[in-house]
Amino acid sequence: MATKGIIYGLTMGKSKVFIPRVQVINTVSATIRQAYYRIKSLQIISLSKSMVRNWGFRRPLDNHLKLGSLFAIGVALSIALAACGSSSASNADVKLRLVSYSVTQAAHDQIIPKFVEKWKKEHNQNVTFERSYGGSGAQAAAVINGSQEADIVNLALPLDVNKIQQGGLIKKGWETRAPRSGIVTRSVAAIVTREGNPKSINSWQDLAKDGIKLIAANPKTSGIAIWEFLGLWGSVTQASGDEATALDFVTRVYKNTGSLTKDAREASDLFFQKGEGDVLVSYENEVTLAEQSNQKLPFTIPQLNISIDNPVVVVDKNVEKHRTKEVAQAFVDYLYSEEAQREFAKLGYRSVNPLISQEVSSQFPKVETLFTAQDLGGWDSIQNKFFAQGAIFDQVQAKNKA
């Protein structure tokens, strides 16, 4: 017997049950579809009960057959209906919300279209991205307060991801759920000067000289500003200097700054495009990007430098809410691929993929001594010691304003 629209046929004795296919309109939302399939499954089970009663089993053993038949019909048909619904849902367009720090946009512009094309080819599903860029600290705060419902965050430093975790949006142990402890790119600090380097600025120590104007961002909102502060502090303590000496040094450096910008992009624009200041401390990758835009200026990569580690992570609570976990995780995984890491390297990021790192090693200056956030006590200690309300950075600022 052939019946148009049949999705499942089940034979029980001499009887055969046919269930017509459910036609689901593609424009119906995934939530409504799922509710619809649950209701239909309940209706089918109810129908199955009636059918079992009408078959008129008489022997005690038949009670077990009734239950088995009911279970078989309910499970089989529920699976069939769910499969029909999931096929439609999986092909619907998906929007991912990516919140990142300010200087990653150029890399994402190259990488995201490649991922979208790959996902479409493999899953026949369109993925669109809603993107936001800004200072890493400010972006983390926006995710925590809900004004940015990020599915994925790609931030300037693990400290900002930790804050989102503490806000209850990311599960504990995020570092263990991704390659390279969740670090997707690396960079180092670069000291950029004016043409001809008229102020003879060649090292961290030169930033404290009298008559220098340093363009710098605010550590309360910007990732580069935190890395800059840690680089300055570590240039003393990691060279066997004590903390009193380090405090005096960073105080003199910040005396040479004017108003602090909100992020690395604003600081770079002031320095490169508006010609303000004598020196800028920035990401090495930001200097590379400026060179590619014909804004080439002298720069120095200090030989005692800090490893600038940039994390990426899925925001667990939001992907559950948006039902985007699978695609969001796939995008994060893709960022570690050779293809994506090559694109990062083209824009001056130091790859975390060993193969790509070796492949592009000649394009990066060697650093003699590289220290990390862990060498400075780890992120919890760094936050409390340097950047909490009333901590060392606030003390430095208050002293320079006095």
pLDDT in tens, 214-233: 999 999 999 999 999 999 99
Looking at residue 43, its pLDDT comes to 55
pLDDT of residue 90: 55
Task: Look at the alpha carbons of 133, 134, 136, 140 in this order and tell me if their dihedral is positive or negative.
Answer: negative
pLDDT of residue 46: 53
Q: What is the pLDDT of residue 296?
A: 85
Question: Which tokens go with 244?
Answer: 């009193």
CATH C-level class of 94-185+311-343: alpha beta
Complete DSSP assignment for 78-112: HHHHHHHHHHHHHTS-EEEEEEEEGGGHHHHHHHH
Pairing of strands 299-300, 94-101: unpaired
pLDDT in the model for residue 347: 95
Non-local (6+) Cβ contacts of 74 within 8 A are 41, 44, 45, 48
Indicate the residue type of 219. P
Give me the sign of the Cα torsion angle 254, 259, 265, 271. Answer: negative
- Residue 367: per-residue pLDDT: 96
How far apart CA 253 and CA 251 sit, in angstroms, is 5
What residues in the chain have per-residue pLDDT under 70? 1-90
Residues of each domain in the chain carrying CATH 3.40.190.10: 94-185+311-343, 189-306+372-401
Contacts of 232 (CB under 8 A, 6+ apart): 204, 207, 246, 249, 250, 253
Q: Which CATH architecture has domain 189-306+372-401?
A: 3-Layer(aba) Sandwich (3.40)
pLDDT (0 to 100) of residue 86: 38
Angle between helices 60-90 and 30-54 (to 10 degrees): 160
> What confidence score (pLDDT) does residue 121 get?
97
